[in-house]
Structure 1
Amino acid sequence: MNREAANTLFQAHATARLRGDAAEATRLASRIGPELHMKHAVFLTALLAGIIVEEYGSRPDPSDLAELTKRLHARHFEGGSTFNALYAEAMIRAVCGDSVLLTEIPFAEQPSYMWAVMTELVDPDITVAELTERFDLAEEAGMNWMSETLESTIQNHPKRSGQPTEEPTPPTADASEKESA
């Protein structure tokens, strides 16, 4: 599936989830195969980041996070549930700069915590224009993250990336004679 088709699928799925259309969300989720899981994870993370920034800014107030965590716990933690509201809070803090917190949450569980936060914060009656704006921001954020990751990889591992490295030039005999003079 090409990038445009994948983004269309991700956006349709997110629209169904955020609007509470469980049947449509399930149908669309079944089309997100293993070859798209990483792209979908980046999309979800970027969408979560945009929703968080829209709601709380880039540095959420700890009291706002505590209130949200309490609401998420009340809504999702039932008798046999394994839902951990602190993981949901960690997802928020991770997209706001404390990315090391992602290592505390099993990767396979991260989407469920992202959805819990997003569905708590987004009104199910969100307009198409508002969704489009959020999707555009998510796409931009995802592209920036991928670009920054690639750039960092090239800078930190130039031999593996196939990029030319700057080899130190050995001193010439003339240069070493001038230094010793």
Structure 2
Amino acid sequence: MNRRDALELLHEYTKSKNLIKHALAVEIAMKDYARIFKEDEDLWQIVGLLHDFDYEAYPEEHPNKGKEILEKRGVAPNIIDAIQAHAEFTGVLRDTLLKKAIFAVDELTGFIVAVSLVQPNKSLSEVTVNSVKKKLRQKGFARQVKRDDIIKGAKELDQSLEEHIGNVLKSMQTISNKLEL
């Protein structure tokens, strides 16, 4: 599967502009982490792009319905397993760097978007590592975000929380126009 095919699949199942932007944010962060860890950038970005492709159509069955769809389309097992691993309840172990990265990036991208939306100009350029850390400490802010997953994700990547936030923020800032932030 290449990026074009992954993008077509994403658009086939996802109509929400915000979910598509989330997929793009996770995609770029995954691609950049692949570069940092000297891994396959194409593979990692496809996992990022597709990790939630089934969520809008099958919210109660996500990501298991996505697994079924991907298997029927002959998608490589390592892509499917990595996507499954981003949801702890699937029981798929995060036993590869790819699986750890998708878990680590998913919640954090959403949180960074939330932080950007409370900035004066609602812009990623105004977001800093410190502003993200400050909002993480505010339990009432973006309370649906699993803060423990963000912290656990950084640890699984052997990154400090500051490094992890900085890496993901920098990635997202490179596509701020696509994210409309």
Q: Normalising by structure 1, what TM-score? A: 0.26
1 or 2, which has the higher helix percentage?
Answer: 1
Q: Whose relative contact order is higher, 1 or 2, with alpha carbons under 8 Å and at least 6 apart?
A: 1
Normalization by structure 2: what TM-score? 0.26
**Bigger radius of gyration, 1 or 2?**
1
